[in-house]
Amino acid sequence: MTNDFALTLLHWFRENGRDLPWRQTRDPYAIWLSEIILQQTQVKQGWAYWERFMRRWPTVEQLAEASEDEVLREWQGLGYYSRARNLHFAAKQIVALGGFPTTIEGIKGLKGVGDYTAAAIGSIAFDLPAAVVDGNVYRVLSRHFGISTPINSTEGKKEFALLAQDLLLPALDKKGMGAGLYNQAIMDFGAIQCTPASPDCMNCPLMESCVAFRKGRVAELPVKLKTLKVQERRLTYVYIRYQGETAIHRRGEGDIWQGLYEPLLIENGEFSVLNSCVPPVASDQRSSAQLIKKNVKHVLTHRILWTDFYLWEPAERPQLPEDYFWIKEAELDDYAKPRLIEILLDSLTL
């Protein structure tokens, strides 16, 4: 049964697999870059970013020599910026090692690389016999084999990892090659055929052996425990405009958007920390500040942000709080910013 499953997927992949640029190479750098970009990003969005990075830094050595600000700037718009910081750090690791690691454990030693990413890179670049288990794979396996174990439980992770590895073995040829092809096949099958919503069951080559289809459980699987508690935060941003300049600062460690830039921030009404600047929204000068946007909702994985956005054009240059500095408005695009800030700035006439 496992042999039929693997061979069916490989046949389907030959007819329906996606033609992606990072599949035209065995360069581990290009493959690693694609996997990091696609960790939290759809292919149609990540494709352009992969091409942009490959044009600017065609080798890992060149990426390692870039500054973190440059990398974050190229990453702007993709979100989950820790991926970009990890990418840059790992590039330096690879250079220090003298080349890309060629074992699963070695690849997992790179910053930001876990079991799935290591298996994907190792199998595609080096034909290492390691099975990938991502959201697509969880979905395909849970439906086809009728597995109700929650995919985000400790038990579920072990169960699916063992099953995925068992299913990979029949796909290998006599020389032990073919893991990369099989891994790409099952990932594409989940992305194209066995989709989260409205899967194409009636045209599925695995329909007859699919437990979820036979028992009418396709919509129920996979099972995932609800463990995430979403928190809400309220932010107020004040864009200061003074004689063609504006004030920004770089976010520090230990919070969202580490290393990215933003305008003057007031959070949860804590205006007292900005007394030296006396932002108009916190004083009797309120009328001199123009409210540009109110209650802008921005959803992150763990948080919902509610944001008000003001424009302040003071008559005199205000004193800035610590860590803020002046730049020319025309230079704003030189600084990597969170997507929320991009949205807010789009409402201004710069």
* Residues tagged active-site: 35
For strand 245-250 and strand 324-328, is the pairing parallel, antiparallel, or unpaired? Answer: antiparallel
Element (H, E) at 155: helix 154-168
Beta strands in 169-226 (DSSP E): none
> Rounded to whole angstroms, how far apart are CA atoms 329 and 244?
6
> Rounded to whole angstroms, how far apart are CA atoms 13 and 8?
9
CA separation, residue 218 to residues 135, 143, 211, 224, 338 (Å): 15, 6, 9, 14, 37
Sheet holding 303-312, edge to edge: 264-267, 231-240, 303-312, 289-299
* Bridge partners, residue 232, by sequence: 304
> Rounded to whole angstroms, how far apart are CA atoms 66 and 56?
10
| Tokens linked to 180 | 């990369």
